[in-house]
A and B are shown apart, each in its own frame.
Chain A
């Protein structure tokens, strides 16, 4: 259509008003006489003369019905990965189907919701998927988990939710004739679920009986969390229906189109509670009732509920959001008080009463969690807890009265602040751009709005710092975090949970900037100070201890790391709910530390637990599950369990592929780690190709080069080395070292500098540069020993390279004790099965053999061969190497039969090695050839 038509509508409309009086046949004529502007006349005439268009408009609905009939055999939608069983029902928002999701572990029953939502273009699809990812992170025993979302074959967006078989809350209560106490206890679960969502800044917006279901097991489940927002992202007509349907439960400000805050859920919960308790639906469904009409007749409600519960409902459903309960947690607290026969917060309004209540309330500290999941992947809920000590409250009741009031404002202010950031994000700009703008805006607002409120300012600054750090800008995080820490120290003191939380954030930030040592010292000090105070064993301590453990490990102190990590985990199991994310993190953390400290056997059960927890919370297809699968291979590989690891990594990459995300750092990491598995299995070419893919993604993500790319380049160097391409290997390993030095500091001991240098020495030795190799190997060994006071794989590897160098310089006598020391170190780590431990035994065997100590050599080689064969699957090159070594020992011990048999086995193993360059295979062939020449010369 010509844009002019809309622009000139104000001129066109009066003309049509007049045309209406003119019989249709004479309209063209009339127009010619009465409309002098030729452009205008042409516009109108064209529209009037558009016979096909006018006909279609006049025919209306019936013309579309035949086609409609053709396609309505009651078919079920077809969605890849699902078996749709039956149509369950239709609502204002969606058609609902019962379906099964096809998962590797067996089918999972889901409720499949096909939304009445138009998602036309790529931007809208992205927004939809982005929103659903946020919702998918929302996990709670009383929230029906959002499992998946996507688009059906014809583009209709769908959501897959946990399938709940049961009644809605009100029907359930009526059918079972539940007592009030039982109803309240059930309602506490509802509140816990909503409170949890609010801590993740997800507002339901549409709480009503239909969205609160009780399963046949009696367990409450809230459904459709946040889905209202999904549907009201833009002026979509269906969303109007969605809003209309919830009218009876909607807060007054929703009618005015106010920003959705947690206060609207508090309101809806109040209405729902009243309906649930008195079994009477809210009255505000009559047309005459507007936004200001009360949901219930007050006197009646008071008679039915009694004074206490009536007061609670009143407080929840106040017209002014500021007068309602400040949070769902506060509403829950009051119901709990009622159940326990304690005085309510809702009833008296005097300051004195509030002071007393507040003093008692400290144990049920209000907390606000903020999650920045909108823009940041991997964000976890950060809880900014605040609690004033009861002791201080009792002494300073008056001060506390004021702060009690301030507390409600505080929670509101923070919520509004963060939600303001969030809501402005839905405008559809790219995620990273959006996050930068948001944070810049946040900094400005922190300065402007909270300048005179230091306590709030601490929390906002901490929040901004944390978000900056997690969005990959630790440098920008530093300033707000430092300011927050200084303020927290003066405002709250060192024993306050908020102070510890800020210190934890600072440790993360400074760690991300490569200052692990500083971070560790400071966090240790903060924790010591905190633990001396009254708040020890708080949830904040879990995060701080867990992070400290990681820092300990990175700084080489495995014993302390394991100690702190175990403490964090024990505390988490004690003080956190079993489904808490922080608990899962603590498990994962200790698992990782165990791997790094060289204890794969202790790591494995932890990482398996972490995997099970993640799967339970996020579903088997979640990208975070893929991360833990990858970490689990770290514990399996040193046990020689290659096939299992490879399978896990393929599983992880399948999840990545299905997650439908653009290439990201996790994918690059997973590709690199599958490369590691394949390298150990001797599939060098395939490993090489995976490293190349991983590096390509890294380069696309960070053209200036990041640590991840440097790691893959280092790994590629190790492939080159094993392929016998030593010049390339040297170039790569030097490149990797330089990159890491540039990114992490010249002496990046906290990040495996000694291991890289030992690798470089090994390559240089292979190239014949023994002198330089010697200097670098000494440096690597000194570095490794300086960091690790206990047995550690990095020290053992550095010792191995030293021993090899001594052999290469013809000094087998000196090499033997060094190699023995390394073997002893693997024994101390109870690591007999890893590639490195086996190679170490072979090296020791070879050294002993060269010294004529064949009996001792045989012991080492037999043990190495047994471990190599036990690998699953065994690496043919490694087995051939061990067999050939053992064959020559047996030969020199005069056991010709055994030697001959082993040689034959070695030849068979060599033949089974995958084609392609392989230095170990070539060396083994040479060894076998030399042995057979020696044998022939003996025979001659």
Chain B
């Protein structure tokens, strides 16, 4: 299955230069979100989600895009964020390896998982690109089922169903071996 083609289609629209210019902004946004979240302790889950959305809207408004483009923007942002987080996890992982005195648990909980999830997503994409896309939007763009439904043009219920499938598949991937 050619996931690249799929993504090319999804991301087909949008002014390249404008989207290009968005990348550092997304990066900044993520950093900003992360800092704010840390200041308020990590329990405020709902608040984080709200912040993410607020930031998306701001970005979308700044880029002056219509709704159809915003859908692409979401897809694109989820992909960028996935990569930012993966890069970051790898880097941390490498640092941990060089600093063995640090707790292995930390490594497991927040580092390995994002890499494992990335791997699970790849496997899923090979099997069913749409499921992978739903999962990616949910995991890395923090979108609700409704938003995802708007992005890929299906009903929210279908998204929920797809998510259950994707989650089950990925959960199987995350099972310890043996």
A interface with B by C-beta (< 8 Å)? 1-2, 5-6, 9, 12-13, 16-17, 19-20, 43-44, 46-48, 50, 52-54, 56-72, 89-92, 116, 118, 153-156, 210, 235, 237-241, 243-248, 255, 257, 285-287
Contacts and interface: CB of A to CB of B under 8 A. Distances in A.
Given A153-B94, A245-B19, A65 B48 contact: yes
B145 to A, nearest CB: 13
A443 to B, nearest CB: 33
A72 B23 contact: no
A56 B115 CA distance: 12
A69 B37 contact: yes
A48 B168 contact: yes
Given A9-B127, A68-B30, A68-B34, 11 more contacts: A50-B172, A60-B140, A61-B139, A62-B45, A90-B27, A154-B95, A235-B4, A246-B16, A248-B16, A285-B16, A287-B12
Contact of B4 (A69, A155, A210, A240): A240
A47 B94 contact: no
A122 B110 CA distance: 26
Contacts of B87: 116, 156
Given A16-B165, A53-B174, A286 B13 contact: yes
Interface string B13-41: 11110011001100100110111011000
Contacts of B173: 1, 5
Interface in B146-178: 160-161, 164-165, 167-175, 177
13 contacts: A9-B127, A16-B165, A17-B165, A20-B160, A20-B164, A65-B42, A69-B35, A71-B91, A237-B3, A237-B7, A240-B3, A240-B4, A285-B16
B125 to A, nearest CB: 8
B81 A241 contact: no
Given A46-B175, A248-B16, A72 B5 contact: no
Contact of A72 (B3, B31, B169): B31
A2 B177 CA distance: 8
A287 B68 contact: yes
Nearest to A59: B45
Contacts of B127: 6, 9
A248 B87 CA distance: 29
Contacts of A67: 88-89, 92, 110-111
B8 A243 contact: yes
B73 interface: no
A52 to B, nearest CB: 8
B48 A47 contact: no
A91 B87 CA distance: 15
A46 B45 CA distance: 27
B170 A20 contact: no
B55 interface: no
B17 to A, nearest CB: 8
Contacts of A71: 88, 91-92
B61 interface: no
B54 interface: no
Nearest to A61: B142
Q: Which 8 residue pairs spanning A and B have beta carbons closest together?
A: A287-B13, A69-B34, A53-B174, A47-B172, A65-B34, A53-B171, A154-B94, A240-B7
Contacts of B90: 154-156
Given A19-B164, A67-B111, A68-B30, A53 B170 contact: yes
A241 B110 contact: no
Nearest to B177: A1
A68 B31 contact: yes
B8 A244 contact: yes
Contact of B171 (A6, A50, A237, A244): A50
Contacts of B83: 116, 237-238
Nearest to B140: A61
A56 B110 CA distance: 9
Contacts of A118: 86
A156 B90 CA distance: 9
Most buried by B among A47, A54, A58: A47
Contacts of B48: 62, 65
Given A69-B38, A240-B4, A245-B19, A47 B168 contact: yes
A91 B34 contact: no
B58 to A, nearest CB: 17
Nearest to B164: A20
Contact of A91 (B20, B42, B110, B142): B20
Contacts of B86: 118
A241 B142 contact: no
B165 A90 contact: no
A47 to B, nearest CB: 4
B123 interface: yes
Contacts of B33: 65
B91 A16 contact: no
B18 to A, nearest CB: 9
B3 A235 contact: yes
Contacts of A245: 16, 19-20
A237 B160 contact: no
Nearest to B91: A154
Contacts of B3: 235, 237, 240
Contact of A247 (B2, B16, B35, B68): B16
Nearest to A209: B17
A56 B68 CA distance: 30
Contacts of B89: 64, 67
A56 B174 contact: yes
Contacts of B7: 237, 240-241, 244
B12 A90 contact: no
A244 B11 contact: yes
Contacts of B76: 241
Contacts of A5: 169, 172-173
A54 B117 CA distance: 11
Contacts of A246: 16
A244 B94 contact: no
Nearest to A50: B171
Interface string B60-102: 0000000011001000100111111111111110110000000
B165 A13 contact: yes
Nearest to A73: B31
Contacts of B171: 47-48, 50, 53-54, 57
Given A20-B160, A69-B34, A54 B167 contact: yes
A62 B37 contact: yes
Contacts of A90: 23-24, 27
Interface in B113-137: 113-114, 117, 120, 123, 127-128, 135
Nearest to B26: A90
A159 to B, nearest CB: 16
B172 A1 contact: yes
